[in-house]
């Protein structure tokens, strides 16, 4: 049997699809190649989502070519944004999978309201001299005029304490961009670039996704270390998100 190398092995064309998986190879060595492994592991998932009963083959998803931006942060953000603009102007819902959370900055200006599922606030002005660092994501989005809400946050750094933060315990917002940094989970589940002990369980995260009532206009899943266990669960997480979106 020949199976197409696309997320969930989907045969949908770009024109037919509602969702577009955008694999972005960018960031730390440990997670940079993880989108490739996540796509591979998606082919090993069960045939349907156990929460919604939706068959994965019925999810209208297309997998974009690998996006490999330049190493300079500002250039990388611009190149990723070009892809996002192409996808959104065709009426598709983008779902990025990537290593570094900084890829979310490329969405600034394309969406108005964000929910960041993350152990951190990511409100640094700059980190290690880089304003496009993963620790600065929410700060750049807010500067771009977006509303940013945080779910699952448990680390607030001194530099971030003076900035008013919107931390929520349920996701009851409409028309959102959902950004999932897997360090929100306890490290026992998925290996991330910045593991933080004491996180939420995998089941709680999945339930939180299924409990979202409002529209999700775009999403990303990031910071997954490139090993088989973590990428398999990452693939399952993305598939869960797609099934939930399809149900709505």
Tens-place pLDDT, residues 54-79: 999 999 999 999 999 998 999 999 99
Residue 1 lies in a domain: no
Residue 216 lies in a domain: yes
pTM (2 d.p.): 0.96
- Report the number of distinct structural domains present in the chain: 1
Residue 2 lies in a domain: no
Tokens linked to 205: 């995260």
Residue 190 lies in a domain: yes
Question: In the structure, what pLDDT confidence band is assigned to residue 140 with cuts at 50, 70 and 90?
Answer: very high
- Supply the pLDDT for residue 2: 60
Residue 84 lies in a domain: yes
pLDDT in tens, 4-17: 789 999 999 999 99
From residue 178, alpha-carbon distances to 19, 125, 162, 219 in Å are: 14, 22, 24, 5
Residue 106 lies in a domain: yes
- Supply the pLDDT for residue 75: 96
> How many whole angstroms separate alpha carbon 13 and alpha carbon 89?
16
> What CATH number is attached to the domain comprising 161?
3.40.800.10
Q: Name which of 133, 118, 125 is nearest 167 in CA terms.
A: 118
> How many whole angstroms separate alpha carbon 212 and alpha carbon 170?
8
Residue 164 lies in a domain: yes
* Per-residue pLDDT at 80 exceeds 60: yes
Instruction: Indicate the average pLDDT of the chain.
Output: 95
- Domain range spanning residue 131? 7-247
Residue 30 lies in a domain: yes
pLDDT in tens, 105-138: 999 999 999 999 999 999 999 999 999 999 999 9
């Amino acid at each position: 049997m020949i199976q197409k190398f696309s997320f969930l092995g989907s045969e949908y064309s770009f024109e037919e699809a509602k969702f577009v998986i955008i694999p972005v190879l960018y960031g730390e060595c440990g997670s940079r190649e993880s989108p490739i492994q996540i796509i591979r592991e998606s082919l090993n998932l069960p045939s349907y989502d156990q929460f919604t009963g939706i068959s994965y083959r019925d999810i209208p998803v297309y997998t974009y070519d690998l996006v490999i931006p330049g190493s300079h942060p500002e250039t990388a953000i611009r190149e990723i944004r070009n892809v996002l603009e192409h996808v959104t102007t065709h009426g598709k819902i983008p779902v990025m999978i990537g290593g570094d959370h900084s890829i979310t900055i490329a969405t600034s200006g394309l969406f108005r309201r964000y929910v960041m599922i993350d152990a951190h606030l990511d409100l640094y002005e700059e980190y290690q001299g880089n304003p496009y660092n993963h620790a600065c994501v929410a700060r750049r989005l807010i500067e771009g005029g977006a509303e940013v809400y945080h779910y699952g946050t448990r680390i607030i750094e001194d530099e971030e304490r003076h900035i008013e933060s919107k931390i929520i315990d349920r996701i009851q917002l409409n028309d959102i961009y959902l950004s999932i940094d897997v360090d929100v989970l306890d490290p026992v589940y998925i290996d991330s670039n910045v593991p933080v002990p004491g996180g939420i369980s995998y089941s709680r995260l999945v339930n939180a996704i299924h409990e979202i009532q409002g529209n999700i206009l775009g999403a990303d899943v990031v910071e997954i270390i490139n090993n088989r266990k973590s990428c398999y669960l990452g693939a399952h997480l993305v598939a869960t998100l797609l099934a939930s979106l399809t149900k709505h």
